[in-house]
Structure formats: C-alpha cells, structure tokens
Amino acid sequence: MNWEEKILEYLVDNYRKSKKDTGDNKINRRTQVKPEKLYKKYRENDGDFEVISEINRTVEDLCARGFLAYDKEMFGTQLNCIYLADEQIEVVEDYLHKKYEFIPKGMKKDEIQEIIARYHDLSEICAMECDCLQQELDRNKIPKDYKELPKVFDAVAFIENNQTELFVREASMKIYGDSKYFEENTLIPVCQMLRKYKNRPCSLEELLDEILVDFGIKKEPQKLCIKGNFILSIDGKELDFSMLPEGIELDARSIEKIDCIKLGTTRFMTIENRTSYLRYSAFSEVIFYLGGYANRFQRNFIKKVYEDNQDVEYLHFGDIDAGGFWIHYNLCKITGVEFKTFSMSEDELTMKQYKNCLQPLTDNDIARLQELKEVEVYAGTIQYMLQNNVKLEQEIISLELMK
C-alpha cells in the first residue's frame, strides 16, 4: 500500500466533494480523515504494527512538506485525526499528478472546456448541453462521467442532423464505425439527452429509444418467439402453427393485425433464456420466449393471449436467482397476469443432479434477494438461497427436463 498516495487522494477527494470547493459553504470545517478510515485496525490490538508505523511516518513527512496537519493522542504515539492544508489543494494535486498520474481538477476543467469548444456548434442540442456544462464549470463543478461526453455528443450531433432513414446499427456504423457500439454503450444517455431538450419525457407506454424515430432512425423489427399448439386468427383466416414444433418468429408490429390467439393447450409458459426456450417443449404448453424483462411488445402480446384464453394456467420459467425472480415479479405487474413459477423452487436447488451447477451469491444478488424475501411466492426459496449461499441457472434444468 502506498500510504502517501492514499492519504493525499482521500483528503483531496473529500475537499473537492465539499461545499468549500464551490464556495457554497457557510461553515468552514477542516478537511479531515481519521486514521482508522485508512486502515480499519489502526486502533486495534491485532493491528499490524509495521502498517501503523508506516502511516505515522508518512503523515509526519507530508506535514513537513506543508501538505497537511495532524492531532496526536495526548499520551501515546497514535494519530487522532489528519487534516488537509486546504490552501495547498492545488499544490497537493500537482504533486499527485507528477508522482502518481493523478488528474487535478484544473486539468479536468480544461478537458471539459475543450469538449465544449469542439461540440457546441455541431447541433442545437449539443449547444444547449454545452451551455449547461459551461454553467457547471463557472460554478467550479465537474460534471459526472464527462469523459463519456464526446462519444455521446458524436451520436447526438449525427442524429440531430440526419436526413436519411437508417436502422440503428447502420447509424452506429456511420457514427462509430462499429455496428453494435451505439446500442451497447451510448444509446441510453443519447436518448435521454434527446428527450430532455425536445421536451419528450418517456411515458409508461413507450420505450426510451422510440425518440430516434423522430430523426429517421429505427430499430430492426422486434421479433416475438412462440411455439406449441396455437392458432392465430387474422382477417377471418385461421393459421394453425401446431405443425411447426420449432415455433415461429412474429414481427411485433403484426400484433395489431391479430384478431384472436387460440391456445390448444392447458398452459402458457414464458421462458427467460433462449437456450431453455430452444430446448424445452411440452404437449400441454405453448412456450413464449422473453429474453429478460418483458418489453412493451411482449407485454401487449401476453395481454392479448390472456384476453383470449383466461381459462388456461400461466407459468414462468427462469433462473433461480435474484434476476429471475425480479423478471417474474415485473412480468406479473406489467401484464396483470398471475404467472406461477415453474421449476424455480428450493426443490431444484436440493436435487443431486444440479449440485455441481450451483453457484455462490454475489453481494448484489444478496441485496436484490433481500428486497423480495417478504414476497410470499419467493419467501421459502429465497430463505434457502440466503442460508446456503446458492443460485442456479435454468439452462441445466431445461436440459434435465427434456431427457
């Protein structure tokens, strides 16, 4: 551990986050850090003596340089608190930059100023956002994620000036030279910026990226994947798909043309993952592929299925993990259909054939499971998962079910 770098960066970061940095403070508190914040066993009997001594020596050296000050306990050698010499903030940042490649605030401001100069006149929206950036700089504030702004501005400027009908991936090629970069990296912040300055907030009934259509850019048609014994009625004609065991892909826009969806089964099942959708089939079920959280088109299709088939059982098959339960929870909420869970219980987690496929929970898994553990349908399974630190993906389950 380089204690010099850690101590100085911690204090500098605290100062830059404080109201002192922008001049908005009413009380002038010293920028400080307790040594146990740097090393949690600093005051413990089992703390490493060498580490504690190194921290003390480093603080004394930095104090001699005029970078900071400190208080010591009245009787003893331990530090009580370490203080930044606030008036030396730029000197300290310069020192960190030269020795540790730390980026001082002044350099960040210069970089943002260059971004403003480069993009301000490229489009109307770029100009408005750059004006906001300038206001932030004038208040001595550094916008979050400013390093991502050039890529976002590249897309905004292109989209706002676009005069040609393009698919999203074609636009991505023109902007970045990469067909997937836009969707995978900048689509969300770009669409948020477009909506912000076009005063087009995203309603519950639309997708965030539908704003792109206003600029002649559209996504490839959304496909709905379904298989099993069912009949679609369109313009008075019935189309029987029971003879196609691998199912069909429907253009999402065709939902409006469907008069009736008639299931020839007793159950309708949504499946979270594509491999399990491809693997699993049953004579008593019509299978519908979700691919994660249901989008607007999938939601509308499921509502139509339920409207035409209220006497069948509705099931959802997904991963036995936090994501799988949240997808099911969301599915029930947005469709208004009470989907039962399928093969997503404690039983699967205790079966011998799945033992080698169990995975430990991450911190994020635990936090997300805690939010659902009081929901009755998941309570028992989640309690078992938390107690035994396990989760299971559905692909192995669908494979075993089809043996």
> What pLDDT score was predicted for residue 204?
66
Q: What is the CATH number of the domain that holds 28?
A: 1.10.10
Residues 243 and 373 in one domain: yes
Residues 310 and 197 in one domain: no
> What pLDDT score was predicted for residue 256?
85
Domain count, the chain: 3
Residues 56 and 84 in one domain: yes
Structural tokens at position 208? 């965030």
Q: What is the CATH number of the domain that holds 278?
A: 3.40.1360.10
Residues 117 and 157 in one domain: yes
Nearest to 268 by CA among 286, 248, 282, 255: 286
234 φ, ψ (degrees, to nearest 5): -135, 120
Confidence class of residue 344 from pLDDT cuts 50, 70 and 90? very high
Residues 122 and 134 in one domain: yes
Residues 33 and 170 in one domain: no
For 300-316, the pLDDT digits (tens) are 999 999 999 999 999 99
CA angle 241, 243, 248 (to 5 degrees): 45
> What pLDDT score was predicted for residue 205?
65
Residues 393 and 246 in one domain: yes
- Four-residue CA torsion sign, 247, 248, 253, 254: negative
Residues 231 and 90 in one domain: no
Is the predicted pLDDT of residue 163 greater than 80, yes or no?
Answer: yes
- Structural domain of 266: 223-401
Residues 89 and 197 in one domain: no
Question: Which of 55-59, 99-103, 219-223, 258-262 is predicted least confidently?
Answer: 219-223
Residues 292 and 330 in one domain: yes
> Which of 218, 238, 266 represents a domain boundary (last residue)?
218
Integer CA distances (angstroms), 143 to 25, 139, 288, in order: 19, 11, 43
> Which of 168, 192, 218 represents a domain boundary (last residue)?
218
Residues 251 and 381 in one domain: yes
Is the predicted pLDDT of residue 1 greater than 80, yes or no?
Answer: no
Q: Is the pTM of this model over 0.85?
A: no
H/E element holding 270?
strand 267-271
H-helix segments, 101-244: 105-119, 124-138, 149-161, 168-176, 181, 187-197
> Which of 169, 196, 218 represents a domain boundary (last residue)?
218
What is the pLDDT of the chain when averaged over all its residues?
Answer: 92
Is the predicted pLDDT of residue 45 greater than 70, yes or no?
Answer: yes
> What pLDDT score was predicted for residue 177?
95
Residues 378 and 278 in one domain: yes
